[in-house]
A and B are shown apart, each in its own frame.
Chain A
Amino acid sequence: MRTKQLRVAGVLVATFAIVLSACSSSATTAPSAPSASGSAAAATCPSGSTQIEVQSWWTTGGESTGLQKLFDAFNAANPGLCAYNAAIAGGAGTAAQAVIKSRTLAGNPPDTFQVHMGHELLDTYVNLSGGSVLAPLDSSVIDPSKFPAGVVSIISGKDGKIYTVPMNIHRANVLWYNKKVFSDNNLTPPTTWDEFNTTAATLKAKGITPLAVGDNGIWAYGMVFETILISELGADGFNGLWTGATKWDDPKVTAALNELKTVTGFINADHNSLSWDQANQLVIDGKAAMTIMGDWANGDYVAKNFTGYGWAAAPGNDKIYQALADSFPLPAKAPHPDAVKKLLAFMASQQGQDIFNPYKGSIPARIDAGNPPAGQQQYNDYQKSAMAEWKTDTVVPSMEHGAAAAPAWKSAIEAALTTFETGLDVAATQTALAAAAKDAGF
C-alpha cells in the first residue's frame, strides 16, 4: 500500500515536471529565436567587418535565396561591410514584426528590417505622436523619379520625405484558374463579376467548386472583398476609401458586399480550415476552377510543377494593379547608419532589384529595372507579363498586405469580414466598416 502510494506520488511529480517544462518551453521559444538565428548568420561574416543586421521573416525558398544573393553581391562590392539575414520564422511575419517592434521600443533596433510598404510602415513607425522612429532617406539612397507615383506616395511620411526602400512588387488582384477545367466546360475566365456569377453557377451545377478560398487566416477572404471593391468603385473610388474621399456607407460598397455574399456561396465548404496554398491545391487538382490570390501563387504552381494554370486580372480589375511590397527602412537608432545607407542604396538600385526579384517571384519596384545581367536568374513568363502591366496600369494599394490602411484599421475591417463570412449580414457589416473608418479618423 505504502509503496503504491509512493509510486503514484512519483507519477504525479513526473507529470508536474512535464507540465512545468511544457509551460516554460512555450514561453521561451519566441524570445530566444532571434538571437539564435542572428548569431548563426553573423558567423558567416568575416571577423573585423561591420556587420549589418537585416531582420526579415524570409527563412526559406526563393525569398531567402534572393536576399542572400543580394547580400553576396553587396558584400563583394563593399569590403569591410557584411550584411546578413537575421531571420525570424513564423506566423507569416507576425512573429518577426513583434520582435522588431519590441526592439524599436527598447531603443535597440536592427540596422534595417523588412516591413510592408504603405500604412503598415507609416502608421507604425513614421506618423507618430512622438515623431518618427525612422530616419528619412535622401536622394543619395533612393531616387523617387524611378518609382511609380502610387508607390512614392505611400512610402513618404506626412513631411513629404521618403522613409523606406521598396524591394519588390507583388500583385494582389489576380484570378488564377485551371485551364483544363475551363476548356472542358467551354468557359472563358470572367472579366466582370456578373460574368463570374454566371460562370460560377455553371461550374457549381457540374459539381466543381467555382472559387477556392483558403481563409484560415481571414486575409484571403479580405483579398476577394478588395477585388470586388476595386471593381465596383474603380481605382480612384477605391483609393478614396483610404483617404476619406469615398465613404464606407456608399451604395457601391453595399453593392460590393452583396456581391461578396453571392461569391461566398460559390466557395469551397472547408475554406476556413485551409491555408491559401491548400486552396491553390484544389485548383491544381481540378476540384476547384478558380482562386483569387496574390502572384506568389505563381511560385506555388512552379514549385508544385503544375503548368495547366492560367491567369487574368480579377473580374473588373483590368488595368488596375493592386500592389504590395516588402521594403527596408533606416531606423533612427540603427547601430551602423552609414553602412545601412550603402546597403539601402544598393537595394534601391536597378542591379539590386534585378538580383533579388527573379528568385522572389515578384517584380522590381523600379520602373527601369527588369533586365538581369546574363548568367543570373532571369524572370519567368508571368513576371514578364506583370512587369509590362506595372509600367502602364493604375497602381492601387493592398489593404490586406499593409499598404492601404493602418494596422488597427485593417484589424477592424477583418473583424467585420470575419463576422460577415458566417452571418452574411450586409447592413450590419457596412455599419461596422463605416465605424471602423471613423475610428481610424476618416
Chain B
Amino acid sequence: MRRLTRDRLFAIVLLAPAIVAVTIFVYGMIAWTGWVSLSKANDLSFDMSWNGLANYESIFASIRFQIDLRNLVVFTVFFVGISLVIGIVLANMLDRKIRAEGFFRSVILFPMAISFIVTGVVWKWLLTPTAGVNVLLGLDPASNRWFTDPTVIHLGTDSPAGKILSDLGLGALASTEFGIPVALFSLVIAAVWQMSGFVMALYLAGLRGIPDELREAARVDGASEWQVFRRVILPLLTPVTVTSVIILGHISLKIYDLQQAMTKAGPGFATDFPSAFMWQTAFTDNAFAKGAAVGIVMLVLVATLIVPYLAWSRGQETE
C-alpha cells in the first residue's frame, strides 16, 4: 500500500509540469480565444467588453469565408479520399513480398519527411503553366493552367440536373457557391504526393497484422481474390482507415503552409482557406475578435472529426 502511494506520488510529480503546461497553453488559450471571439477587441485598444455573437455573424456573412468553407470541404474530400485509395493500392502492391520492398517503402515514404512549404514550392515550379509538367508532357499552357486556372466547376442552373435542383428550391447547389475550383486540384496533387506514402505505411502495418490463415480460409471457401480483399481484408483494416481519415482530416482542416507556398489563395479565392483568412483578419486587419471567431470555427470543425474518433477508440479499448 505504501509502495503504491509512493508510486502514485512519483507519477503525479512527473506529470504535473505537463498538466500545468497543457492546462495553460492549450485549454487556457482555447478558453481565452473563445472569450476574445465574443468581445469587441477589433483594434489595438483591445476592448474586451461583451459583443455577443456579432463577430461570428460578421465572418459568416463574409463571402470570402463562405468560399473558404467550400474550399475546405472540397479539398478535404479529395485529399483524404485520393490519399486513402493510393495508400491502400501501394500497400497491397508492397505486401506481395516483392524484391527490394524496403527500398520502395522508403522511396514512397520519403515525401512526408519534407515540410509542406518545400512541397508547395516544388509543386509550384512543376505546375507553373509555362514550365515543368506542361513542357514535359507537351501540353498547351493556355488550356492547362493548373493552379492559375480560375474556373469553378459547377452544374449550372441551366443544366438539366441544375433545373431539377432549382425546382426543389436547391438552385444554389448548382451554382459556383457549391462548385469545385479547378485550381484546388494542384494543391490536392501536392498534398496527396506528400501524404499518401504515410497512408501506405499505416495500411502496410495493418496488412501485416492480418494472419494468412484468414485469407486461406476464405480462398478454401471459394472466394475470389477481389472477394477476399473486399469481404475479409478491408473490414479488418477499418481501424487503420479510421486512423488515416483522422490524421489526414485534421491536417487538411488546418492547411496553411502548402497554400501559402503554392498559391497564396489565388486565383480569386479559389484556393483560400479559413487559416489564411484568420491570419489576415487578426494580424493584417487588426480585427482580433473576428480572427478569434474564425479560429473557434476551425476548432469546432476539427473537433467534430476528432471527438467521435476518441469516443470510438475508447470503445475499442474497453472491448
Chain A contacts to B: CB under 8 angstroms: 1, 4-5, 8-9, 11-12, 15, 18-19, 22, 25-26, 94, 97-98, 101, 104-105, 123-125, 128-131, 133, 215-218, 269-270, 272-273, 407-408, 411, 415, 418-419, 421-423
- Across chains A and B, the number of contacting residue pairs, with CB separation under 8 Å, is 114
Which residues from chain B contact A270 at a C-beta distance below 8 Å? 128-130, 141, 148
B269 touching A11, Cβ below 8 Å = no
Assembled-state Cα–Cα distance A9/B209 (Å):
11
Closest to A95 in B: B283
Beyond A12-B205, A124-B286, A270-B130, 13 extra complex contacts between A and B, CB < 8 Å: A5-B205, A5-B209, A15-B109, A18-B113, A130-B45, A131-B45, A216-B263, A218-B266, A272-B148, A273-B128, A273-B129, A273-B148, A407-B284
Which residues from chain B contact A8 at a C-beta distance below 8 Å? 201, 204-205, 208
Which residues from chain B contact A272 at a C-beta distance below 8 Å? 148, 266-267
Q: Which of B43, B150, B204 contacts A128 (CB 8 A)?
A: B43
B205 touching A105, Cβ below 8 Å = no
Closest to A9 in B: B205
Closest to B124 in A: A273
Assembled-state Cα–Cα distance A8/B105 (Å):
10
Q: Which of B47, B204, B285 contacts A129 (CB 8 A)?
A: B47
B112 to chain A, nearest CB (A): 6
With A4-B208, A9-B205, A128-B44 already in contact, the answer to whether A407 and B266 are too (CB < 8 A) is no
CB interface residues, B 244-292, toward A, < 8 Å: 257, 263-270, 280-281, 283-287
Assembled-state Cα–Cα distance A45/B141 (Å):
54
B105 touching A11, Cβ below 8 Å = yes
With A101-B283, A270-B129, A422-B150 already in contact, the answer to whether A12 and B201 are too (CB < 8 A) is yes
Q: Which of B44, B150, B205, B265 contacts A101 (CB 8 A)?
A: B44
Question: Could you show 5 A-B contacts with beta carbons less than 8 Å apart?
Answer: A101-B283, A123-B286, A133-B45, A269-B129, A411-B285
Assembled-state Cα–Cα distance A128/B40 (Å):
12
Assembled-state Cα–Cα distance A25/B114 (Å):
12
B312 to chain A, nearest CB (A): 20
A197 to chain B, nearest CB (A): 23
Which residues from chain A contact B148 at a C-beta distance below 8 Å? 269-270, 272-273
A92 to chain B, nearest CB (A): 11
Q: Which of A15, A94, A422 contacts B201 (CB 8 A)?
A: A15
With A11-B105, A125-B44 already in contact, the answer to whether A407 and B264 are too (CB < 8 A) is no
A11 touching B201, Cβ below 8 Å = yes
B283 touching A217, Cβ below 8 Å = no
Closest to A128 in B: B45
Of the four ranges (under 10, 10 to 19, 20 to 34, 35 or more), the interface on chain B belongs to 35 or more
B130 touching A129, Cβ below 8 Å = no
Which residues from chain B contact A216 at a C-beta distance below 8 Å? 263-264, 266
B139 to chain A, nearest CB (A): 14
In the A-B complex, list the 3 residue pairs whose CB atoms are closest, starting with the nearest: A130-B45, A422-B150, A422-B268
A418 touching B264, Cβ below 8 Å = no
Which residues from chain A contact B287 at a C-beta distance below 8 Å? 408
Closest to B257 in A: A26
Assembled-state Cα–Cα distance A377/B288 (Å):
43
Assembled-state Cα–Cα distance A5/B105 (Å):
14
A221 to chain B, nearest CB (A): 10
Assembled-state Cα–Cα distance A302/B257 (Å):
33
Closest to B260 in A: A91
A408 touching B286, Cβ below 8 Å = yes
1/0 contact string of B37-62 vs chain A (CB within 8 Å): 00000011111000000000000000
With A273-B148, A421-B268 already in contact, the answer to whether A15 and B198 are too (CB < 8 A) is yes
B47 touching A273, Cβ below 8 Å = no
B115 touching A421, Cβ below 8 Å = no
Which residues from chain B contact A125 at a C-beta distance below 8 Å? 44
A122 to chain B, nearest CB (A): 11
- B142 on the A face (CB < 8 A): yes
Assembled-state Cα–Cα distance A354/B128 (Å):
42
- B163 on the A face (CB < 8 A): no
Which residues from chain A contact B209 at a C-beta distance below 8 Å? 5
Assembled-state Cα–Cα distance A125/B150 (Å):
37
A382 to chain B, nearest CB (A): 30
Which residues from chain A contact B79 at a C-beta distance below 8 Å? none
Which residues from chain B contact A133 at a C-beta distance below 8 Å? 44-45
With A8-B204, A26-B257 already in contact, the answer to whether A407 and B285 are too (CB < 8 A) is yes
Which residues from chain A contact B117 at a C-beta distance below 8 Å? 26
Which residues from chain A contact B268 at a C-beta distance below 8 Å? 418-419, 421-423
Identify the interface centre among A18, A270, A273: most chain B CB within 10 Å of its CB: A273
Which residues from chain A contact B45 at a C-beta distance below 8 Å? 128-131, 133
- B147 on the A face (CB < 8 A): yes
- B202 on the A face (CB < 8 A): yes
A12 touching B202, Cβ below 8 Å = yes
A294 to chain B, nearest CB (A): 19
A195 to chain B, nearest CB (A): 28
A422 touching B64, Cβ below 8 Å = no
Which residues from chain B contact A418 at a C-beta distance below 8 Å? 265-266, 268-269
A118 to chain B, nearest CB (A): 15
B284 touching A217, Cβ below 8 Å = no
CB interface residues, B 23-77, toward A, < 8 Å: 43-47, 63-64
B175 to chain A, nearest CB (A): 13
Closest to A271 in B: B148
1/0 contact string of B97-130 vs chain A (CB within 8 Å): 0000000010001001101110000001000111
A287 to chain B, nearest CB (A): 10
Which residues from chain B contact A101 at a C-beta distance below 8 Å? 44, 283, 286
Closest to B197 in A: A15
Assembled-state Cα–Cα distance A94/B267 (Å):
20
B141 touching A269, Cβ below 8 Å = yes
Q: Which of A26, A123, A217 contacts B264 (CB 8 A)?
A: A217
Closest to A98 in B: B283
Assembled-state Cα–Cα distance A413/B284 (Å):
14
B201 touching A19, Cβ below 8 Å = no
Closest to B129 in A: A270
Assembled-state Cα–Cα distance A418/B280 (Å):
15
Closest to B247 in A: A19
Which residues from chain B contact A415 at a C-beta distance below 8 Å? 63-64, 269
Assembled-state Cα–Cα distance A130/B47 (Å):
7
Assembled-state Cα–Cα distance A422/B287 (Å):
27
Which residues from chain B contact A423 at a C-beta distance below 8 Å? 150, 268
Which residues from chain B contact A411 at a C-beta distance below 8 Å? 280-281, 284-285
Closest to B58 in A: A439
Which residues from chain A contact B286 at a C-beta distance below 8 Å? 101, 123-124, 407-408
Which residues from chain A contact B257 at a C-beta distance below 8 Å? 26
